[in-house]
Amino acid sequence: MDKDVRVRFAPSPTGALHIGGVRTALYNYLFARKTGGTMILRIEDTDQTRYVPGAEEYIQEALAWAGIELNESPWTGGPFAPYRQSERKASYMEYAQKLVNEGNAYYAFDTPEELEAMRERLKAARVANPQYDALSRMQMRNSLTMPEDEVKARITSGEPYVIRIKVPRKEEIRLNDLIRGWVMVHSATLDDKVLMKSDGMPTYHLANVVDDYLMKISHVIRGEEWLPSAPIHVLLYKFLGWEEQMPQFAHLPLILKPDGNGKLSKRDAERHGFPIFPLQWTDPNGGEQVAGFREEGYLPDALVNFLAFLGWSPGSTEELFTMPQLIEAFSLERIGKAGTKFDIDKAKWYNQQYLRMRSDDELTRMLQEQLDKNEVEYAPETARKVALEIKERAVFPQDLWKDGAVYFIRPARYDEAVAAKKWNAEAATIIEQFADAVENSSQALTAEGAKNLLQEVLDKNNVKIGRVMQAVRLALTGLGSGPDLMNMIEIIGNKETAERLRTALHQLQVNG
């Protein structure tokens, strides 16, 4: 590699981080780690009107949760501090001034009304692309159309102005994107973007380019929605004399709606009932609460694995990759151009795989947390046995509680449909005798032992097991389906088993 890899994730603190932003951060991180490079986070907060309090803390927490570590950031510091653009304000004007002095940018004094009037005029004249550009700029109030002393006078008198880039009229702008290949844009399609705003703050375009240069960024890895801005950035690198240091660009494919029709939005996620933010987000204006993957029970390593595959693939059929394995396998070459559909079932599948891989201790702790939350009393070994018994079926940690509650809490009600069909005199006889046998058993029943005991009772009465199994289940759990009953008896123990059987005999009417 001819220069050190330095990549950045550059979010704007305008609200919660979208899941696509987490993917962008992840790809930057994987690339940095893979190449032994540096992962930087820069807060792009030059648009004060869109600043949302709490967003920055949210970004920090979300990345930490996902295991995306930062080498340089506002929070960790670093050799190129500050890492917040609002704190770097002083440096941008200098570059904007240089662009003006060299004829690559200009002052513009147009009011919003004048800009609107220009657009109306161009529309009326049937100009296809009504914008502030090489054609229209000469009819506007700017330093290209005004005498120099007038411009100076206006500026010294404090009249508001912006600085705009002077996009060349006819030029082919090219950039070699690492994912998309050569991208060619004709300058006539671009407008003279504002670089410095009247509040003295730079816009995204200028601040982004200046900081990428000053922070020695080697690769810009970001979402495809920034591709239209890239030609402006290429022009800025050229105008500022930084072409040699221009980073390489890699624009990531879009994340599409589940049906593949367009970009995934917050509304799509709501409609389909899945989160779009990594963590729960409470809107500071209005207090609206939006679900997060973390709170819904997604495990960070599962979500990371899922996100890594949204646009990238290792080129094999293997799907389970921990963070270190992702780092090992990652390359920009294996990122696709085409958008990828967001498939929440795949995310759930990943979650299930990762949940199963958790250690016994961890699974036990997860279940215990839920038991404590629900104020259920339990013996720690029981919690452990239950967690291990049901882990295969659980997708989320809270499923351990959903499926496990039945081991700790006696049935409060009995499924009526099952009772009507399966609870009869024969079943009641078997269950009664089985309860006696369990009570009389001198040792704690294993699953095997419970099965033998039940079989003895059945044999004595000449009844086939299939005829009463549902009734036994109903008596023990109140439900028509659920976990393996013999294992359950082993876990809850003789006394609890007998008591549940007796309660059912007491509560359920015998039909027919």
Rounded to whole angstroms, how far apart are CA atoms 57 and 38? 22
Rounded to whole angstroms, how far apart are CA atoms 125 and 477? 77
Q: Does residue 23 belong to the site contacting ligand GLU (CB under 6 A)?
A: no
Cα 426 to Cα 225, 451, 457: the distances in Å are 69, 18, 12
Instruction: Please report how close the Cβ of residue 230 comes to ligand GLU at its closest, in angstroms.
Output: 9
Q: Does residue 208 belong to the site contacting ligand GLU (CB under 6 A)?
A: yes
Q: Give the list of residues 6+ apart from residue 132 with CB closer than 8 angstroms, or none.
A: 108, 115, 118, 140, 164, 191, 192
Q: Does residue 501 belong to the site contacting ligand GLU (CB under 6 A)?
A: no
Q: Does residue 211 belong to the site contacting ligand GLU (CB under 6 A)?
A: no
Instruction: Please report how close the Cβ of residue 206 comes to ligand GLU at its closest, in angstroms.
Output: 12
Q: What secondary structure does DSSP assign to 201-255, as a single string?
A: PBPHHHHHHHHHHHTT--EEEEEGGGGGGHHHHHHHHHHTT-GGGPPEEEEEPPE
Q: What is the 3-state secondary structure (H, E, C) of 394-406?
A: CCCHHHHHHHHHH
* Interface stretch with ligand GLU, choices 5-13, 58-66, 124-132, 258-266 (CB under 6 A): 5-13
Q: Does residue 44 belong to the site contacting ligand GLU (CB under 6 A)?
A: yes
* Interface stretch with ligand GLU, choices 6-14, 92-100, 268-276, 400-408 (CB under 6 A): 6-14
Instruction: Please report how close the Cβ of residue 311 comes to ligand GLU at its closest, in angstroms.
Output: 16
Q: Does residue 28 belong to the site contacting ligand GLU (CB under 6 A)?
A: no
Total number of residues that touch ligand GLU (CB under 6 A): 8
Q: Does residue 11 belong to the site contacting ligand GLU (CB under 6 A)?
A: yes
Q: Give the list of residues 6+ apart from residue 27 with CB closer than 8 angstroms, or none.
A: 221, 252, 308, 311, 312, 330, 335
* Interface stretch with ligand GLU, choices 4-12, 126-134, 290-298, 431-439 (CB under 6 A): 4-12
Determine which residue in the list 5, 6, 7, 12 makes contact with ligand GLU, applying CB under 6 A: 12
Cα 339 to Cα 22, 38, 311, 332: the distances in Å are 16, 27, 7, 15
Rounded to whole angstroms, how far apart are CA atoms 123 and 349? 52
Instruction: Please report how close the Cβ of residue 359 comes to ligand GLU at its closest, in angstroms.
Output: 37
What are the strands of the beta sheet with 38-41, ordered from one edge?
Answer: 38-41, 6-9, 219-223, 248-252, 172-177, 181-186
Instruction: Please report how close the Cβ of residue 163 comes to ligand GLU at its closest, in angstroms.
Output: 20
Instruction: Please report how close the Cβ of residue 14 comes to ligand GLU at its closest, in angstroms.
Output: 7
Q: What are phi and psi of 58, to 5 degrees?
A: -60, -45
Helices (H) and strands (E) in the chain, counts: 19, 13
* Interface stretch with ligand GLU, choices 7-15, 248-256, 387-395, 484-492 (CB under 6 A): 7-15
Binding mask 220-239 for ligand GLU (x = CB under 6 A): --x---x-------------
List, by residue number, the catalytic residues: 266
Rounded to whole angstroms, how far apart are CA atoms 138 and 119? 14
* Interface stretch with ligand GLU, choices 10-18, 163-171, 339-347, 383-391 (CB under 6 A): 10-18
Rounded to whole angstroms, how far apart are CA atoms 396 and 61? 21
Determine which residue in the list 7, 10, 215, 475 makes contact with ligand GLU, applying CB under 6 A: 10
Instruction: Please report how close the Cβ of residue 43 comes to ligand GLU at its closest, in angstroms.
Output: 9
User: 183 vs 508, which CB is nearer to ligand GLU?
Assistant: 183
User: 9 vs 414, which CB is nearer to ligand GLU?
Assistant: 9
User: 51 vs 226, which CB is nearer to ligand GLU?
Assistant: 226
Interface positions with ligand GLU (CB under 6 A) = 10-12, 44, 204, 208, 222, 226
